[in-house]
Structures are given as structure tokens and as C-alpha cells.
């Protein structure tokens, strides 16, 4: 058996390191600016190495994705084909649908994005942690006018909000995060509820605020309410109702909602340069 080696002072060093870690955690949790600046400086220093590695490893990642998601892509393809057939049938059966769609777009104010300026940004990475899958990294930051809390959209609607923007990069916190709550309005009604993320692979939920008598059904579209101190402008599509669960005790409806915004395999997203009135 080997003789135990002795490392003098290691306990003292560990105590110092634990103390330093706890201090950092405490300062960062309070939003202490120098810690935030330290983070940003560290990211800037490592960025050239990441960019170089990205050039080398991106093809590997793409190949891996096509390998592991091949079956899923085939299934998705088949599903899309069947949906396309259904849509073509629907179009023939209902010529007025085009007018309805135009009216809906006007109502949602999707074409002009409410007159707000936007910045298109490339998605540089998904989550880099096993424990927080609700993050995207984008390659635009404060230099492009992006600020904390700004809404981020993709094809179909709102997908998240900006978090911790750096000079040339930022994080997007996705709306599927269970800690995210958004005030929503059901199109065609005046019912406002609070939508919460449901987690990975789970639908989002509206638990409070929709009376049981409200005309909100499966297929109803929910948009941002823009009311009170909402960080989002009104009228951005968030999701469509996929299930309605009546709560006879509280006389409310619980809604299960699928996001309308595309969140998978994103290459680009659009940041809406909107700040709530009290922050302007």
C-alpha cells in the first residue's frame, strides 16, 4: 500500500477558496456591478478562442445533430406533409380564410412589429449547461442597442427576453422557463391571464385569470397583454391553446399552451428594441 502523502496548508487554502466563492455568490446575487463587469471581461478574453473553436467544431455538431435527430426529422417531415395536405383542403373549403388571416395579422400588429425598431441577431449557441436549458446566446449586445429585458421573437411570435447583455453578445431567456411569467390576452376576448413556462418539452400554462365562462377554446391564440408593468409590448403572439381544463372550484379555466414562436434549430432571432415606458 502506498504511504499517504501530506499536503500542508490545504485545509486553510480550501477555507479561503470557499470564502471567496461564497463572497462572489453573495455579491453576484445582489447585482454588484464590478462582479458583472468581471464576468463580461472574462467572456471578452475567452471569445477569440471560442470563435476559433466554433469554426472547427460547428460542422461536428451539425453532423452529430443530423445523426441523432435523423428519425425525428423524418417524423417531422411526415407530419408537416400531412399538415400541408390538411391546409390545402382547408383552403379550398374556405376561401375566406385568407381574409381572416389578414385580419388576424392586423390585429396582432405582426407586420410592423408595433412600429418598434428591431435588430436581427445570429444564434451562436444554445444552453451550455445541463441545468438551465432555457437559454440561447446571440451575437449582438449593447453596442447594437440591445438592453436587459427586451423581447425576442422568431418566426411565429415571442420566444424570450434579453438577459445580461454584453457589448457584442447577449443571452435570451426562453419563455418556456418555468420561472418566466407573462401577462397574456386571449385574441377575440378581453380575458387576461398569467402564462408560465412549463419546462422542457411541456406546454406552457395559464393557471389564473381566465373565467370558466370566457370564450377561450382549443386553438385560441394568446398574445402579450402589454398592460401594467409588462416588460413586453402588447400584441405579440405567444402561443395557441392546446387544451382547456375547467376548474369548477375556482370557476376558472386552466389553459395548456404551445408556443407559436419557433424555438428549435434557430439560426437567427429578432430583438425588438422596446423598453417599458417607465424604463425609457
Q: Where does this chain bind another protein (CB under 8 A)? A: 1-2, 4-7, 9-11, 13-14, 17-18, 20-25, 27-29, 35, 38-39, 42-43, 46, 49-50, 53-54, 56-58, 60-62, 64-65, 125-135, 163-164, 171, 173, 177-179, 199-200
Q: CB of 268: closest distance to another protein in angstroms?
A: 18
Q: Distance between CA atoms of 50 and 166, rounded to whole angstroms? A: 16
Phi, psi of 152 (to 5 degrees): -125, 130
Q: Whose Cβ is closer to another protein: residue 21's or residue 82's? A: 21
* 278, 149 Cβ separation under 8 angstroms: no
Q: CB of 25: closest distance to another protein in angstroms?
A: 4
The one-character DSSP state at 168 is: S
Q: Distance between CA atoms of 138 and 255, rounded to whole angstroms? A: 31
Q: CB of 132: closest distance to another protein in angstroms?
A: 5
CA distances from 147 to 13, 140, 150, 158, 169 (A): 40, 10, 6, 16, 11
Q: Whose Cβ is closer to another protein: residue 20's or residue 218's? A: 20
Q: CB of 5: closest distance to another protein in angstroms?
A: 5
Dig out the grid coordinates for 109 from the structure: 400588429
Dig out the grid coordinates for 193 from the structure: 391571464
Q: Whose Cβ is closer to another protein: residue 13's or residue 98's? A: 13
Q: Whose Cβ is closer to another protein: residue 52's or residue 218's? A: 52
Amino acid at each position: 500500500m502506498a504511504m499517504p502523502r501530506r499536503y500542508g496548508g490545504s485545509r486553510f487554502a480550501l477555507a479561503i477558496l470557499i470564502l471567496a466563492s461564497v463572497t462572489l455568490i453573495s455579491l453576484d446575487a445582489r447585482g454588484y456591478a464590478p462582479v458583472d463587469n468581471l464576468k463580461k471581461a472574462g467572456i471578452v478574453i475567452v471569445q477569440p478562442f471560442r470563435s476559433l473553436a466554433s469554426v472547427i467544431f460547428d460542422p461536428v455538431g451539425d453532423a452529430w445533430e443530423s445523426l441523432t435527430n435523423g428519425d425525428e426529422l423524418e417524423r417531422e417531415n411526415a407530419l408537416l406533409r400531412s399538415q400541408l395536405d390538411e391546409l390545402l383542403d382547408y383552403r379550398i373549403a374556405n376561401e375566406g380564410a385568407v381574409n381572416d388571416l389578414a385580419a388576424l395579422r392586423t390585429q396582432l400588429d405582426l407586420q410592423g412589429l408595433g412600429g418598434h425598431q428591431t435588430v436581427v441577431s445570429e444564434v451562436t449557441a444554445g444552453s451550455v449547461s445541463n441545468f438551465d436549458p432555457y437559454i440561447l446566446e446571440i451575437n449582438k449586445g449593447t453596442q447594437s442597442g440591445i438592453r436587459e429585458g427586451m423581447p425576442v421573437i422568431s418566426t411565429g411570435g415571442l420566444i424570450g427576453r434579453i438577459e445580461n447583455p454584453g457589448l457584442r453578445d447577449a443571452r435570451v431567456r426562453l419563455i418556456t422557463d418555468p420561472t418566466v411569467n407573462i401577462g397574456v390576452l386571449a385574441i377575440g376576448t378581453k380575458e387576461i391571464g398569467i402564462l408560465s413556462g412549463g419546462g422542457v418539452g411541456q406546454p406552457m400554462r395559464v393557471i389564473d385569470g381566465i373565467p370558466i365562462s370566457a370564450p377561450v377554446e382549443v386553438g385560441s391564440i394568446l398574445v402579450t397583454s402589454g398592460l401594467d408593468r409588462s416588460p413586453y409590448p402588447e400584441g405579440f403572439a405567444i402561443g395557441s391553446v392546446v387544451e382547456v381544463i375547467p376548474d369548477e372550484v375556482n370557476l376558472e379555466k386552466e389553459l395548456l399552451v404551445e408556443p407559436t414562436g419557433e424555438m428549435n434549430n434557430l439560426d437567427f432571432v429578432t430583438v425588438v428594441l422596446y423598453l417599458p415606458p417607465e424604463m425609457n
